[in-house]
Structure 1
Amino acid sequence: MIQFDCHAHVYETVTAIDGARYIPARPAPLADWLANQKAHGLRGGVIVQVSFLGTDNSELCAALTKLDRSRFAGVGVVPLDVGDEELDRLLHSGIRGVRWNLVRGANMPDLDATLTQRFLAKLRDRDLHLELHLEGPRLAPILPALADQGVNLVVDHFGLPSEPDPSNDPMIKAVSDLPDRNGLYFKFAAHYRTSFDTSPHADELLELLPDDHVVWGSDWPHTQHENSTGYSDVWSRNISWRELSDGTAARRLYDIG
């Protein structure tokens, strides 16, 4: 049974960084997210740093101070050169992973570069996972290298597949070709960010991945799609995976349960 909403954005104000590619029209208050959880029988979840706030995780950390750490956690955004002190502060605040939002042509960090390797070592030392938001065709060729970095990798939004038929999809093929998938997790969230039905891809991923390597997320408040969907709509779409048990993955990735 799905117990957690492992992908939502919470912000009490809308103050975007310079160059933000999308700025929502209204806040997404913590109280509203919690009300949605209660209405749908969920017991906790994960707040993910929203892109328009960049590496300023203060809204995220402020929300976490109001929540039960045994049921709630966060995923932050930090620069590659983040210092140990700052990363430890975020860890203490309840952040259990960091996110690379690389869609729309954002540069992929060079995995062989010294700076990137130092960054990944800091994640390993703290048992923090790496969350990746990247289109499937760009993810596919680098997935083997990413999966070989010694950190748990969480792929957002069904992996943003590019082909309606999963048997022709490069992202699905890349997952299938991995010799070891034990460090790979997927979030089933935001079906509307793909132009076709992702249910066949989800079914394929459930076959390919080890047990307990999938979590569900509402993607609330559905940025860029606020006027076309809502919490109840995305919840109703997970009926195929309603019996999916997310407790083990939630403990491994977020230390909640």
Structure 2
Amino acid sequence: MIQFDCHAHVYETVAAIDGARYVPARNAPLAAWLAHQESCGLKGGAIVQVSFLGCDNSEMCAALAKLDRSRFAGVGVVPLDVDDAQLDHLVGAGMRGVRWNLVRGAAIPEIEADLTQRFLSKLRDRDLHLELHLEGPRLAPILPVLAEQGVNLVIDHFGLPSDPDPKSDPFIRSVSALADPSALYVKFAAHYRTPFDITPHANDLISLLSEDRIVWGSDWPHTQHEQSTSYSEVWARCEGWSNLSDAAAVRSLYAIGLSE
């Protein structure tokens, strides 16, 4: 049973950083997200830092300050050279993971570089997971080395598959080839960001990783797709995975206990 919305963006104001690739037309208030959760019978969720705010996590922290930390958490965005004090402040505010948003040609950090290794060490020390938003063909080649870094790895949006046939999809093939997939989790979120039916890919991921490595997210407020979908519509997609339980994954990733 899905009980947790692991992927939503909450911002009371729209104040984009310079160079933001997309700026929404309206805000995404905390109260509206909570109302959606209540209507679906969900028990909690994770606020994920939205791209147009860059590394300014103040909106996320302000929202978390109003929420029950036993049911809600955050996933922030920080630079690779983030200092310990800044990272500890965010952890204290309720951040349980850090996101790399690398779609549309953004540079992928060199995993073996000293700077990246120091960053990953800081995540390990604080039991923070690394969340990755990256197209499947670019993600597949780096997945094996990322899976060996000693941090839980959460892949956004089904891994943004590129091939309608999961057996030919680079991301799915990379997952199936992992010697040890124990660090890997996948978010079943934002199916509408892939231009074909991802149900076969979802089923393959469940068989490859087991259900305790799958979490669900609404991707609310569905940025760039606000006119084509809604919270109730994406929640209805969960009916296809009604036998899944996200309790173990939520406990591991967000330190939040849900009933089994």
The reply to whether TM is greater than 0.5 is: yes
Corresponding residue of 2:112: 112
Q: Tell me the SS of whatever aligns to 1:238.
A: helix
Q: What root-mean-square deviation, in Å, do the aligned CA atoms of Structure 1 and Structure 2 show?
A: 0.6
Q: Deviations over 1:85-119 (max 9, x none)?
A: 00000000000000000000000000111100000
Q: Offset of 1:128 from its aligned partner?
A: 0.2
Are 1:60 and 2:60 counterparts?
Answer: yes
Corresponding residue of 2:169: 169
Corresponding residue of 1:245: 245
Q: Offset of 1:187 from its aligned partner?
A: 0.2
Q: Tell me the SS of whatever aligns to 2:21.
A: coil
Cα distance in 2 between the residues matched to 1:170 and 1:115: 28
Scaled by the length of structure 2, the TM-score of the pair is 0.98
Conserved 8 A contact 2:64-2:94: yes
Q: Which stretch has the larger CA shift, 154-163 or 238-247?
A: 238-247
Identity of counterpart residues, as a percentage? Answer: 74
Are 1:44 and 2:41 counterparts?
Answer: no
Conserved 8 A contact 1:157-1:191: yes
Corresponding residue of 1:73: 73
Q: Tell me the SS of whatever aligns to 2:149.
A: coil
Corresponding residue of 2:6: 6
Corresponding residue of 2:124: 124
Corresponding residue of 1:151: 151
Conserved 8 A contact 1:98-1:131: yes
Amino acid at match of 1:74: G
Scaled by the length of structure 1, the TM-score of the pair is 0.99
Q: Offset of 1:256 from its aligned partner?
A: 1.0
Conserved 8 A contact 2:75-2:98: yes
Cα distance in 2 between the residues matched to 1:28 and 1:74: 15
Corresponding residue of 1:213: 213
Q: Offset of 1:70 from its aligned partner?
A: 0.6
List alignment gaps of at least 5 residues for structure 1.
Answer: none
Corresponding residue of 2:231: 231
Cα distance in 2 between the residues matched to 1:142 and 1:6: 24
Amino acid at match of 2:243: E
Q: Offset of 1:210 from its aligned partner?
A: 3.5
Q: Offset of 1:42 from its aligned partner?
A: 0.4
Q: Offset of 1:120 from its aligned partner?
A: 0.2
Q: Offset of 1:239 from its aligned partner?
A: 1.0
List alignment gaps of at least 5 residues for structure 2.
Answer: none
Conserved 8 A contact 1:99-1:131: yes
Q: Deviations over 1:105-145 (max 9, x none)?
A: 00000011110000000000000000000000001111001
Cα distance in 1 between the residues matched to 2:237 and 2:248: 22
Cα distance in 2 between the residues matched to 1:247 and 1:67: 19
Cα distance in 2 between the residues matched to 1:4 and 1:27: 22
Q: Which structure 1 residue ranges, 4+ long, deviate > 6 Å from structure 2?
A: none
Cα distance in 2 between the residues matched to 1:148 and 1:106: 22
Q: Offset of 1:200 from its aligned partner?
A: 0.4
Conserved 8 A contact 1:181-1:210: no
Conserved 8 A contact 2:9-2:48: yes
Q: Offset of 1:151 from its aligned partner?
A: 0.3
Cα distance in 2 between the residues matched to 1:88 and 1:22: 29
Amino acid at match of 2:123: L
Cα distance in 1 between the residues matched to 2:146 and 2:111: 8
Q: Offset of 1:240 from its aligned partner?
A: 1.0
Aligned residues: 257
